[in-house]
Structures are given as C-alpha cells and as structure tokens.
Amino acid sequence: CARAAPRHPRSPRAAAPGGMFALVVSSLGGSCRRLEVGADATVPGIRRQLEESLPPFHEVRLLQGQRELRDSGDAVEVELQAVAMPSPSKALAAFELCMPFDRGPDVAARAALALEALLGTEEGCLSEAQSNRFFDLMRDHRVWRDDRDLMRGDEDLISMTGAAFGRCCGDPALYIPQLVARAAEMRRPRGDVWAMAALEAIATRCPEQLVDSVRETIVASVRQKIVASAVVVRRPSCGFVDIIAL
C-alpha cells in the first residue's frame, strides 16, 4: 500500500522540467519516492507507473490523507499558487514587433504600451542577451541615427525607450561608455535623446557605478587623444625624450 502526497510546486525553483508535476510518494514502510508526471496524468496512469517496480501479485493503492484515490472517483484536489507579474520578455518582444515605430500612430501607441510595461518591471530584469537586443534596437534605428527627422512625438517615445532601457538592462556598466559617447555628440541638433534618458535612469539605479564608469570613460578618452596628438622630441645631448601633447 502506498500513500501518494501530491506536492505541486509553489515556486519556480521547485518546478519539475518540461511542465511536469512532482509527486512525493511515501510507502507504509517509511520510504519516499519522487515521481514526475505530466499535467494530463491520471490516477490509473500513476498507479501503473508505480506498480512497474513491484514484485508479482502486488498492487498499489493511492491514498490522499484518509481518502483513497480511485480510477473513477471525484477530481483530485491539489493546491497551486499562481502569481501574476509583469513579463519583461513579452514587453520587449511586443516592442520589437513595433519597430520601426514611426509607421503611424497605431504602431507608436503599441510601442508606448510595451515601454510602459517595461518601466513597471524590476530594475535589471533583462538578461544580457535581451539587453543587447534592446540596445541594438536603440543604436541602429534610423530615427535615432538622424535627429533631423525627429518629430516631437518621436522624441518623447525615444526618451521613454531610453528610460526603459536604463531601468531594465542587466549590467549598466556594459553600456555606459557607449551611452556617454553618444550623449556627448553635440553635433546632433537635439543631442542623443535616448542616450541621455538611459543615463538618467541608470543614475537613479546605481549612481556610484555611473560616476565610476563615466570617470573611466573620460580618462580613457583623454589618454587616447593625448597619444594620438603627441609629438616626440628627442634631445641627443642628454638622451631624454619629451612627449608634448598638442
């Protein structure tokens, strides 16, 4: 005789792979066995699976508390916990479908809804792969490459996109140098709207990390410019070499 105690996962960590449910089957002798079954499992099917390891002329009776689970009995009651939460993956996928979003007001409205959903998720909720996809959308879209074509509505949506990226990207340090470089491109008539919005959101998340990354970016840029514009002057008489930055 075996006592089946259905234990359905209460958290993602306890979930069995492939959409399976985990049953912990305890015998009268005190031993326990973990059994993974599909969502469409039936009492007869579970019984047959358990009886495969029994010696001849033995059967399994499934008990839940004091109740025996029969083949044609009432439905088996189990406890599940369903948690509804924002989905960054779905929001990002919906935003990608809207690209390019300057195809009309309906597309822009759908893009705005997806961005609002992203802004409502936890900080740093995107994986590195998702963050890279989002960043590539921001960097490569033609609307962002040519600010002369920006309309006021586009500018608001682009600012919203930068804010969503800055809030949701996994590791901001991977993107801060490029964002700083884009934001510093003063040749653009309106500046780089999305880069500034992303940096502002990152500053809210982790101000110290932003300051450190900006400092490193500036120092590296200055060093590169010094080396690129340096003139080497040799003094044969004393053997010294002076480097003069122009």
State pLDDT tens for residues 51-86. 887 777 777 777 777 777 777 766 666 665 666 788
The tokens describing 143, both together, are 């609307």
The answer to whether residues 151 and 190 belong to one domain is: yes
> CA-to-CA distance for 168 and 147, rounded, in angstroms?
25
* Domain contains 105: yes
Mark whether 107 and 190 lie in a shared domain: yes
Which run of H or E residues covers position 34? Answer: strand 32-37
In this structure, the answer to whether residues 111 and 213 fall within a common structural domain is yes
Q: pLDDT digits over 174-229, tens only?
A: 999 888 888 776 555 554 788 889 999 999 998 887 777 777 766 665 566 555 55
- Structure letter (DSSP) for residue 84: -
The range of the structural domain enclosing residue 54 comes to: 2-68
pTM of the model as a whole: 0.59
Distance CA 160, CA 41 (A): 47
Q: Do 105 and 193 fall within a single domain?
A: yes
- Residue 103: inside a domain, yes or no? yes
Q: Measured between alpha carbons, how far is 67 from 167 in angstroms, rounded to an integer? A: 51
Total number of domains in the chain: 2
